[in-house]
């Protein structure tokens, strides 16, 4: 494994022919022959192509997954056997970790060292963790009084055919973790990566294939949400939809799934508050506030994009935060040796959307502290780079306070009292994450419990257990369980154990 400051040439891993879909244990082109061009966000140049799936490929995948679950060997395998297959996939993925990280960074315009030491490693950990969970799927026995001797036990069973719709910002990590959990639970899966970033999961198909998963158990199809995603959601033969994506996409899936009363789990957008009180460890709080909204250029659903800052430290903290943001170095994420730590946005259309939010914030009267104008460097101008942008004196009525931007844009709002800070934090339709920085332990617990969100950080930011302790979105940020139980359903069974069967009255 490479050290953090080394570089790698990602193009040595790129195929010169279109990447194929993976359906029913075979790597196949799309029936239409259409392909999708993959664009490097650093320079907006094409570097690879993948076949574009459609409804025909969805139908084949559903038939394969349905048959593998209902009649194939998968349903007859023991938990131990499924666990062994996941451990084999873990072994094979570990051998190709550099390749997977390089393709993930190239396709998503990400920092390579981050992909290698976090995204890929967490995906790898997800396989191992789920392999263990497959051996520990326990139910429970409940004492009941039914007028005699009865045994009541509760078991968890797989949902069946699971469709996993992935986000474009972290497909390798989320795709591997979620697929591993679904497989450990005993489901078959159809994975639809984003059309912008499908590459790493198409390579993971090779790993699942080599590991020996039976045909139809894992299927991976690229294509548009309008065709592939909608066909999966609307099919009565797909039992469960799991989506990580935007809130508007989540609303569409809720509507589309209503025809089949399909179970769904949605991890959606966020506009997470980061509350900072004056009694803090100053340097750490400033650096975490910077990372909270600039990590991956703000393209993280739990990003702390609303800084709720105590008035007594307001100006001094912003001055320090501005200085920290201006230390960030934009560029190609494979140039860690040059100090590059600020990647581009995923796509030129998304970058244009973020710039639109920046201009709207200016027009609505927010005070620009830093950033807010494009880089002048002609090399950076070829890509989708947006500098860290801080707006101060933001009020709850402003668009930059209310709407998810998904870029390195921070809205800063002052507060005086703890109650005011909590009210500002909860003044949003989102409820994904939040943070509080204070050296007062009792205050930290009060505020953490008062924030209306599913994942809270105290004197830090970002999850420290994304595999072991998955977050749950509140309000417009999602619904459904996390972890392996997302992919299972509960069944309660009553057994008459009397010597003679009790007849009904």
Q: Are strands 433-437 and 478-479 parallel, antiparallel or unpaired?
A: unpaired
CA 412/CA 387 separation, integer angstroms: 17
CB distance 371 to 427 below 8 Å: no
CB distance 382 to 44 below 8 Å: yes
User: Which two tokens mark 408?
Assistant: 């390195």
CB distance 135 to 79 below 8 Å: yes
CB distance 395 to 409 below 8 Å: no
Task: List the beta bridge partners of residue 330.
Answer: 342
User: Which two tokens mark 304?
Assistant: 């702390």
CA 116/CA 462 separation, integer angstroms: 18
Listed residue (420, 409, 428) closest to 275, CA to CA = 420
Collapsed DSSP state (helix, strand, coil) of residue 171: helix
301 a catalytic residue = yes
Task: List the beta bridge partners of residue 456.
Answer: 434
How far from the centroid of its chain's Cα atoms is residue 255's Cα?
A: 22
267 a catalytic residue = yes
Residue with tokens 């030129």: 348
How far from the centroid of its chain's Cα atoms is residue 70's Cα?
A: 29
CB distance 184 to 86 below 8 Å: yes
CA 193/CA 229 separation, integer angstroms: 10
Q: Are strands 35-40 and 45-51 parallel, antiparallel or unpaired?
A: antiparallel
**What DSSP element (H or E) covers 154?**
strand 150-158
Q: Which of 267, 325, 404, 418 is catalytic?
A: 267
Q: Which of 115, 170, 301, 325 is catalytic?
A: 301
Cβ-based burial of 420 (10 A; exposed 0-12, middle 13-18, buried ≥19): middle
Question: How many degrees, rounded to 5, is the angle at CA 197 between CA 219 and CA 485?
Answer: 50
Annotated catalytic residues are 267, 301
């Amino acid at each position: 494994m490479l050290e953090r400051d080394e570089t790698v040439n990602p193009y040595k891993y790129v195929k010169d022919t279109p990447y194929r879909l993976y359906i029913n244990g075979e790597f196949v082109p799309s029936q239409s022959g259409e392909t999708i061009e993959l664009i490097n966000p650093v320079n907006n140049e094409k570097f690879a192509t993948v076949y574009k799936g459609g409804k025909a490929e969805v139908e084949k995948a559903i038939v394969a997954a349905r048959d593998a679950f209902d009649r194939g060997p998968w349903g007859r395998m023991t938990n131990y056997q499924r666990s062994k297959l996941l451990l084999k996939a873990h072994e094979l993925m570990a051998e190709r970790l550099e390749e997977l990280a390089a393709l993930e960074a190239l396709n998503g315009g990400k920092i390579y060292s981050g992909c290698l030491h976090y995204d890929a490693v967490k995906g790898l950990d997800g396989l191992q963790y789920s392999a263990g969970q497959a051996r520990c799927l326990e139910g429970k026995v409940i004492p009941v009084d039914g007028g005699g001797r009865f045994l009541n036990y509760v078991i968890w069973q797989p949902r069946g055919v699971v469709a996993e719709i992935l986000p474009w910002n972290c497909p390798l990590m989320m795709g591997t973790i979620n697929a591993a959990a679904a497989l450990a639970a005993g489901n078959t899966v159809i994975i639809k990566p984003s059309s912008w970033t499908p590459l790493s999961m198409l390579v993971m198909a090779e790993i699942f294939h080599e590991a020996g998963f039976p045909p139809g158990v894992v299927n991976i199809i690229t294509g548009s949400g309008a065709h592939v995603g909608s066909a999966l959601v609307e099919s009565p033969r797909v039992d469960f939809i799991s989506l990580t994506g935007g809130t508007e996409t989540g609303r569409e899936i809720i509507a589309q799934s209503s025809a089949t009363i399909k179970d769904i789990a949605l991890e959606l957008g966020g506009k997470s508050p980061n509350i900072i009180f004056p009694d803090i460890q100053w340097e750490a709080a400033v650096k975490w506030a910077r990372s909270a909204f600039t990590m991956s250029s703000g393209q993280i659903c739990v990003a702390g994009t609303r800084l709720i800052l105590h008035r007594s430290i307001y100006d001094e903290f912003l001055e320090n935060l501005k200085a920290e943001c201006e230390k960030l170095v934009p560029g190609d994420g494979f140039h860690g040796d040059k100090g590059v730590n600020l990647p581009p946005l995923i796509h030129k259309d998304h970058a244009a959307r973020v710039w639109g939010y920046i201009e709207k914030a200016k027009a609505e009267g927010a005070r620009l502290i830093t950033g807010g104008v494009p880089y002048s460097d002609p090399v950076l101008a070829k890509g989708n780079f947006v500098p860290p942008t801080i707006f101060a004196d933001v009020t709850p009525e402003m668009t930059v306070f209310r709407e998810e931007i998904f870029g390195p844009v921070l809205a800063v709002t002052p507060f005086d009292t703890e109650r005011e800070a909590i009210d500002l934090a909860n003044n949003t339709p989102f409820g994904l994450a939040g943070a509080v920085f204070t050296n007062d332990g009792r205050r930290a617990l009060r505020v953490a419990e008062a924030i209306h969100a599913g994942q809270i950080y105290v004197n830090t930011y970002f999850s420290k257990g994304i595999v072991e302790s998955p977050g749950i979105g509140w309000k417009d940020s999602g619904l459904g369980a996390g972890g392996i139980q997302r992919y299972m359903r509960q069944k309660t069974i009553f057994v008459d154990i009397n010597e003679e069967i009790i007849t009904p009255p």
